[in-house]
């Protein structure tokens, strides 16, 4: 294995803290953000402030929730931070849905970010609903789907860094596609993981 699970977890944690710190810093230095984010912050748009803060919190707490080591040793803490995480997802999703209606990049960008917001809220609701029913496996599966969407906060910035920074591509050309690319592959990978895991389990039962 090229990278251990623990190393991958620490890498995600570093990315999460970095993205969350960057989002919070925009409150004080809006000039660091993209032009439309800068305009939204300077105009005092409440949804933008809510989204940046709640999404940043969800991203960091989401990484913590994915730690098997922490979950097995501190179950009460896992449950408490899980509730905080899902509340942050709800706020981030609702504010993100409002922001999607005015996203730059035309209809493609608006529908991309709108679909992300709706699925983020829906998968969060399903994660909460299944654990309330005592379905631990279903809860973990829905949380994995939800967290794959939360990771859009990281993949969005990676894609922007590559296309705008490294390749010097035009923002208005690439942004509508990034609005979909930042989360759709994440969700597909999470879903394929469940299919693969189910296939392995089925083969073991047959054996």
pLDDT by residue (tens digit) across 26-44?
888 877 776 677 777 777 6
> pLDDT tier at 198 (50, 70, 90 boundaries)?
low
DSSP E strands: which ranges in 22-172?
none
The CB-side HSE value for 119 (13 A sphere, CA atoms) comes to 21
Rounded Cα–Cα distance for residues 162 and 35 (Å): 18
Q: Residue 78 has which token pair?
A: 């896992």
The pLDDT mean for the chain works out to 88
Which pLDDT score is estimated for 120? 98
The maximal CA–CA distance of the chain, rounded, in angstroms, is: 63
Helix (H) or strand (E) holding 4: none
Which pLDDT score is estimated for 204? 46
pLDDT per residue as tens digits for the range 84-112? 999 999 999 999 999 999 888 999 999 99
pLDDT at residue 199 greater than cutoff 90: no
The larger pLDDT score, comparing residue 36 to residue 74, is at: 74
pLDDT at residue 203 greater than cutoff 50: no
Phi and psi at residue 127, to the nearest 5°: -65, -40
Rounded Cα–Cα distance for residues 144 and 148 (Å): 6
Q: Residue 101 has which token pair?
A: 């209606």
Mean pLDDT of 61-82: 91
What residue has token string 């949380």? 143
The length of the chain, given as a count of residues: 207
pLDDT per residue as tens digits for the range 127-179? 999 999 999 999 999 999 999 999 999 999 999 999 988 899 998 999 999 99
pLDDT at residue 195 greater than cutoff 70: no
Which pLDDT score is estimated for 126? 97
Rounded Cα–Cα distance for residues 50 and 12 (Å): 23
In 3D space, the residue among 165, 162, 160, 154 whose CA is nearest the CA of residue 176 turns out to be 160
Which pLDDT score is estimated for 205? 41
Which pLDDT score is estimated for 41? 78
Rounded Cα–Cα distance for residues 150 and 85 (Å): 10
The larger pLDDT score, comparing residue 5 to residue 95, is at: 95
* Residue ranges per structural domain of the chain: 5-206
Give the number of other Cβ atoms within 10 Å of residue 151's Cβ: 23
Q: Residue 158 has which token pair?
A: 């990676």
What residue has token string 């949804």? 47
Which pLDDT score is estimated for 200? 43
Q: Residue 18 has which token pair?
A: 């970095």
């Amino acid at each position: 294995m090229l990278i251990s699970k623990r190393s991958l977890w620490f890498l995600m944690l570093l990315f999460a803290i970095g993205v969350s710190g960057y989002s919070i810093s925009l409150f004080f230095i809006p000039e660091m953000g993209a032009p439309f984010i800068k305009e939204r912050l300077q105009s005092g748009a409440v949804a933008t402030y809510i989204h940046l803060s709640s999404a940043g919190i969800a991203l960091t707490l989401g990484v913590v929730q994915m730690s098997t080591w922490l979950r097995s040793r501190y179950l009460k803490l896992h449950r408490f931070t899980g509730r905080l995480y899902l509340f942050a997802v709800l706020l981030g999703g609702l504010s993100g849905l409002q922001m999607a209606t005015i996203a730059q990049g035309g209809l493609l960008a608006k529908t991309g970010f709108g679909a992300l917001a709706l699925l983020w809220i829906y998968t969060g609701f399903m994660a909460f609903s299944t654990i309330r029913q005592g379905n631990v496996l279903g809860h973990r599966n829905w949380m994995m789907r939800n967290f794959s969407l939360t990771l859009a906060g990281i993949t969005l910035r990676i894609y922007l860094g590559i296309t705008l920074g490294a390749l010097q591509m035009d923002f208005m050309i690439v942004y509508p596609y990034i609005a979909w690319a930042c989360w759709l592959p994440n969700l597909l990978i999470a879903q394929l993981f469940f299919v693969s895991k189910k296939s392995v389990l089925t083969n073991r039962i047959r054996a």
